[in-house]
Structures are given as structure tokens and as C-alpha cells.
Amino acid sequence: MTPQENIIPQNPSPVTVKDLNTENPRWCGGCGDFSILACLKRFIVERQLRPESVVNISGIGCSGRAPNYLNTYGIHSIHGRPITVALGLALTRPDLHLFIHSGDGDSMSIGGNHLMHGINRNFNCVFLMYDNEIYALTKNQTSPTTRKGHRTNTQPFGSYLSPLNPLTVALGLGSSFVASTADWIPDHLMSTLSAAFDHPGFSFVHICQRCVHFDIENFDTKTSSWFSFLKHPNGISPDKRLADKSECLDHDPTNLNDAFKYAAADRRYFGLFYVNRDKPRYDNILQNLVAGSPKKDRGKLLDPYSI
């Protein structure tokens, strides 16, 4: 086997949403995952990414099923580990576009170690954190982002701890790109995907995602008074549908202190919190090491051991 790079047909017909369909997703009706999937398909079409050069990689949970519903290449891996699998492709196949799909349990609990190192390695990918604040596919257990007091099957008297904040975690780990959006504001989600895709490095995208089955109260999708958009010429535009109705704050995404302030606030902010295009990329470092190492002749492999 050798990677068949750049074998894109001469005049490929344009990619359409229809080309990206596989089977009908098996999520619950009204699940926020449908919206994320639809936006990603629209994004691939908008950018005309060749489906054969896209790889969707996921862990376990409702979000883990996403790659199965996109007619690209895909790896539905094991619980908490999609970042490790994606890294293997990033280190060896820089020609591919990588999208990682990981839930709040997958990325903040069982896969926490990998999130920490994925962010630090800053390898090129779009990391989509589907945050529905619950373990859903395993049937209603407390996750690291479940709000305190919310009753679940494993913490039936109300979840004991204050939730982890994915945004301050990502910022604290030195993430080169931190954005937050929500599944029910598709225009903003699309703009966020676009900014994340164009960022060279590990683009951490937090997505508030509805779970209609186990927790219909955590996100009020009917009103917009409880959140604000962060805006900036170098940031992500506020959602077109809500721009007039919602608070829009100016925030320079290179200002880390303000990014922390908004991320840690009680109020929700959607937009680009932080970006640093200069953070070194581990995938580049290893590729440059290979490219820059003087070639040795495999035929003379054992010569240095000769006595």
C-alpha cells in the first residue's frame, strides 16, 4: 500500500449535498446533531472539498455516529480516542482534510488526556465538540459538562459537581483556536466551520447541542436574550438571523485575557474567543524533520553494526 496522493480526476463534477448522503441518520427526531451534520455537508459543498480527501473521525456516543452519515472517508473509532487516530493521518497524510467529532463525555472525560495533547500538538484539524451536557447514547448519565443539580440515572439526586468549562479548559491548555457556537444557529455554525477550517492548527470548536430526549431544558432555543455574539473583523460574524436581536460585543480574538473573561462568564458567548496563527504545529515539525533529514541508503542499513 502506498498513499495515492493527488489523484483527483481532471475535471471532477461539482460536489453536491446529495453526493455526501449515505443512509438516514439514526439520531432522535429533533436532535441537534442533524443540524451539525447538515452544516458540515453544506460547508464541504460550499468549499468544494473533494469527498475522497475528507476524513471524519469520531469516538463513541451520539456524535460518534456522524462519520457514518457522510459520504467521505471516515473512522468511527473507540471511546475518547478519535484525536489519537486523527493524529496518525495528520502526521502521514497532510493532503487530507480532517474533521474530528467528539462529544462532551468523549473529549472531556474518557479522552481528556488526548484533548490536552491534541491542543498542545496543534496538528491541523477541525475539532468539533458536540456538547449536549449529557451521556445520551448510554442513556442519561452525568457528563463532565452536566450542570450541577441536574438529575441523571447515575446522579439521581442531582449532579454533584459544577461542570467543567470546555472553553476555559481549551484556552488554559494553550489552544491556538477557540470558538463556540450552537446547533440551532446554522448561519453562525457555518461561519465558525469556515474560520476553523481556514485556521492552520488544531481548531477547537465548541458546539452547544440540543438533546431532545434526555434534557430539553439546558438550551433555550426559542429566545436569544441569554447569549451574546463576539464579533471582530478577524473573528466570526454574528448569526445573520439573530444579529439584530442579540447583543453583539466587539472582541479582539488575539486578546487572551478577554477571551478568558468571556469564556469564564456566567453568560454564554458565541463567536471566536481566541486565535493564534503562530503556534508551532507538531505535524509540520515532524514532516520538516523527515524532509530535512539526509537520506540514507536502506541497502546499507546494517553497515554501522559491522565489526
Residues that bind another protein (CB under 8 A): 1-9, 12, 22-23, 26, 50-53, 55-57, 65, 67-68, 70-78, 81, 83-89, 91-93, 95-96, 113-114, 116-117, 286-287, 289-290, 293-296, 298-299, 301-302, 305-307
C-alpha 41/C-alpha 56 separation (Å) is: 12
Nearer to another protein, 75 or 243 (CB): 75
Q: Which is nearer to another protein, 57 or 182 (CB)?
A: 57
Judged by CB, which is closer to another protein: 99, or 262? 99
Closest separation in Å from C-beta 210 to another protein: 23
Q: CB of 227: closest distance to another protein in angstroms?
A: 34
Residue-wise burial string across 247-274, b where 16 or more C-beta atoms lie within 10 A, e elsewhere:
ebeebebeeeebbbebbeeeeebbbbbb
Question: CB of residue 292 vs another protein: minimum separation in angstroms?
Answer: 8
Q: Output 71 or 107, the one with its CB closest to another protein.
A: 71
Q: Which is nearer to another protein, 217 or 297 (CB)?
A: 297
C-alpha span between 188 and 51 (Å, rounded) = 23
Smallest distance, Å, CB 215 to another protein? 25
Rounded to the nearest whole angstrom, what is the least distance from the CB of residue 293 to another protein in the complex? Answer: 4
CB of 234 to another protein, least distance (A): 31
Q: What are phi and psi of 288, to 5 degrees?
A: -70, -35
Comparing CB distances to another protein, the nearer of 92 and 140 is: 92
Report the distance separating Cα 261 and Cα 264, nearest Å: 5
In Å, what is the CA distance from 168 to each residue of 1, 243, 301?
Answer: 42, 25, 49
Burial class (CB in 10 A: 0-12, 13-18, 19+), 21: middle
CA angle 243-247-248, nearest 5°?
70
